[in-house]
Amino acid sequence: MSQRVSDFYPTAFVTGASTGLGRAFTEMLLADGVRVWGTARDTARLAELAKHNNFTPVALELRDSAAAEGVFIDADSSAGGFAIVVNNAGYGVFGDFAATDFAVWQEQLEVMLLNTARLSHAALRGMRARNHGALVNISSLAAEFPLPFQSVYNMAKAGLTALNESLMVETAGTGVFILDVRPGDYRTDFEGSVRRPPGETTPAMARAWVAFGKMMETGPAPAHAAAALRRALLRRRSGTVRCGRFFQAVLAPLLARLGSLPIKRRVQAKYFDLP
């Protein structure tokens, strides 16, 4: 009989389960028999998932790190200690770094890096004590190939990937696994949820926005990323999971490794129609 994720991991906590990749991860885990606690800021957005017997909706706002940690600890104790934690919630901000108010960048960094690290910390404490679990932090290929005019998004994802790499070292030889998941462009609500603070749009920004939008619209469906996560969970070892269309997830990282940084930057600029 083929293996299911629930054979090894009976419970999971998924942030940002209401839509996009988080919803696809949740549906994949439920289909594999896992009991899932999934979050949204407004649990009304989890109504469809809540029809599933194995799904528990959780209200969680990542801007308040202490409150978010409290929500996680309560859910963790009612689940008897999560076997999988997927830190997925996040959003983009598209804007010129200098022209955008720093408060916008600070909030994004807090939500997507600091407060996500705090949930990782809370999750790992329990997993390390039980010597069992998979911590999955959803980074991005933007950690390797920065998106234009999304400087702090790139910074948050590069930081999260650095945390994941560090945790892989610290958990080596234990029953706890760390997955650094780096999706390329997927067809989700992400573009719709990318904030564009008021400010001047230069021609370069306008072209980058169009190129970015096209890549998102033509990307694979979120179920493709969920299938990649499922395979990685069943491998039961730490590692990096690059997923997305072949060029972004396979070819570009290979060429970047073989080539030089100036060439990589030139190819990236061309990809986004930039000078």
For ligand NAP, how many residues bind (rule: CB under 6 A)? 29
**163 CB burial (10 A radius; 0-12, 13-18, 19+):** buried
- What is the Cα 180 distance to its own chain's centre? 9
Residue with smallest beta-carbon separation from ligand NAP: 20
186: CB partners within 8 A, 6+ apart? 20, 21, 216, 219, 220, 221, 222, 224, 225, 244
Stretch that binds ligand NAP, among 128-136, 166-174, 181-189, 257-265 (CB under 6 A): 181-189
Please name which of 33, 9, 249 lies closest in space to residue 145, comparing C-alpha atoms.
249
Q: Would you count residue 149 as binding ligand NAP (CB under 6 A)? A: no
89 interacts with ligand NAP by CB under 6 A: yes
Q: Among the candidate windows 19-27, 29-37, 204-212, 252-260, which touches ligand NAP by CB under 6 A?
A: 19-27
Residue with tokens 């990589």: 264
Which of 20, 57, 133, 159 binds ligand NAP (CB under 6 A)? It is: 20
Q: How far is the CB of 260 from ligand NAP (least distance, A)?
A: 25
* Residue for token pair 């603070």: 197
CA distances from 158 to 74, 90, 141, 161, 195 (A): 29, 14, 9, 5, 20
Query: Which of 83, 138, 228, 249 is the binder for ligand NAP (CB under 6 A)?
Result: 138
Q: Which residues of 201-224 are buried (b: 16+ CB within 10 A; e: fewer)?
A: beebbeebbebbeebbeebbebeb
Q: Does 185 bind ligand NAP (CB under 6 A)?
A: yes
H/E element holding 111? none
3-state secondary structure of 33: coil
Q: Which of residues 34-73 bind ligand NAP (CB under 6 A)?
A: 40-41, 45, 60-63
Choice between 7 and 74, CB closer to ligand NAP: 74
Q: Does 220 bind ligand NAP (CB under 6 A)?
A: no
Nearest C-alpha neighbor of 41 from the set 79, 10, 71: 71
Query: Under the criterion CB under 6 A, does residue 245 sit at the interface with ligand NAP?
Result: no
Site string for ligand NAP, 91-130 (x = CB under 6 A): x-------------------x-------------------
Which chain residues interact with ligand NAP by CB under 6 A?
A: 16, 18-22, 40-41, 45, 60-63, 88-91, 111, 138, 140, 183, 185-186, 188-190, 193, 216, 219
